[in-house]
Chains A and B, each alone.
Chain A
Amino acid sequence: MNEQEKVKVIDARGSFCPGPLMELIRAVKESSVGEIIEVWSSDTGSQRDIPKWAEKAGHEFLGVVHEQGYDRIRVKKKR
């Protein structure tokens, strides 16, 4: 992950599956193409669901950074 890029952060910590994914979808909808959205999630399902969703929806999954007690999951809006 390139830390220099401007990212929109969605803090979905404490929210359970499918919360973080649904919040991400909403944020992606409201963003413009090329924007990077980072979800903070403490939910186990997100790590698997979000890359899968990005692939299905045609966006780019940029990776996960594990923090203490949560993950930072990044997606780039492609269309």
Chain B
Amino acid sequence: MPEKLAMVVFSGTVDRLMPVGIIASGAVAMGMDVEIFLTFWGLNSFRKEMIPKNMKFSRDYEEMAPMMMELMKSKNVPSWFDTLKKAKEVGNVRVHACAMTYDLMGMKKEDLADIVDDVIAVGEFVDIARDAKFTLFI
């Protein structure tokens, strides 16, 4: 069994979603499986319509956002979503939607990006994360 990295993605701002894609890439490169649980703003940002238009940064770093976005654009940095998609092509990355948020926000499977594998409840995710080498809350 390969080692496992679990990530709880709670945030929906670009500055926090970037490391989700990048760390997932590093993990699959090093032969780990990745299990991602999307909840609240994290799940919201995986809605098909949100992906291209999300330019939001965390409040704390808001004033740096235009400069960072400009820098990333001029240097052709792939989006957090494309980075995560690439990680999924290279290795075993499973993306789970939190059933509670899904119900709360009245989502349908077709609202979510294809990268999302299933909708699971917290108990199942905790069980998945139980034997992870480490778990991140982002």
Chain A residues near B (Cβ < 8 Å): 14-19, 21-22, 25-26, 29, 49, 52-53, 56-57
Which B residues are within 8 Å of any A CB, using their own CB? Answer: 22, 25-26, 29-31, 75-78, 83, 86-87, 89-90
Q: Are A18 and B22 in contact (CB under 8 A)?
A: yes
- Among B22, B31, B77, the residue within 8 A (CB) of A56 is B31
Is B31's CB under 8 angstroms from A25's CB? no
Shortest distance between the CB of A6 and any CB in chain B (Å): 25
Give the complex CA separation of A62 and B88 in angstroms: 27
Smallest beta-carbon distance B62→chain A, Å: 23
* Interface class of chain B by DSSP: helix
**Complex contact B29–A18 (CB within 8 A):** yes
Which DSSP category, helix, strand, loop or mixed, fits chain A's interface? Answer: helix
In the assembled complex, 19 residue pairs joining A and B whose CB atoms fall closer than 8 Å, in A order, are A14-B75, A14-B76, A15-B76, A18-B25, A18-B26, A18-B29, A19-B78, A21-B25, A22-B86, A22-B87, A26-B89, A26-B90, A49-B26, A49-B29, A52-B30, A53-B29, A56-B29, A56-B30, A56-B31
- Determine whether the beta carbon of B77 is less than 8 Å from that of A22: no
Docked pose: A22 CA to B87 CA in angstroms: 8
Q: In the complex, A16 Cα to B86 Cα: how many Å?
A: 14
B25 CB contacts on chain A under 8 angstroms: 18, 21-22
**How many angstroms between the C-alpha atoms of A18 and B29 in the bound complex?**
9
The CA-CA distance from A19 to B75 in the complex, in Å, is 12
Given contacts A22-B25, A57-B31, contact A16 B90 (CB under 8 A): no
With A22-B86, A22-B90, A25-B90 as given contacts, are A16 and B29 in contact (CB-CB < 8 Å)?
no
Closest to A19 in B: B78
Closest to B78 in A: A19
Most A C-beta atoms less than 10 A away, residue of B25, B29, B83: B29
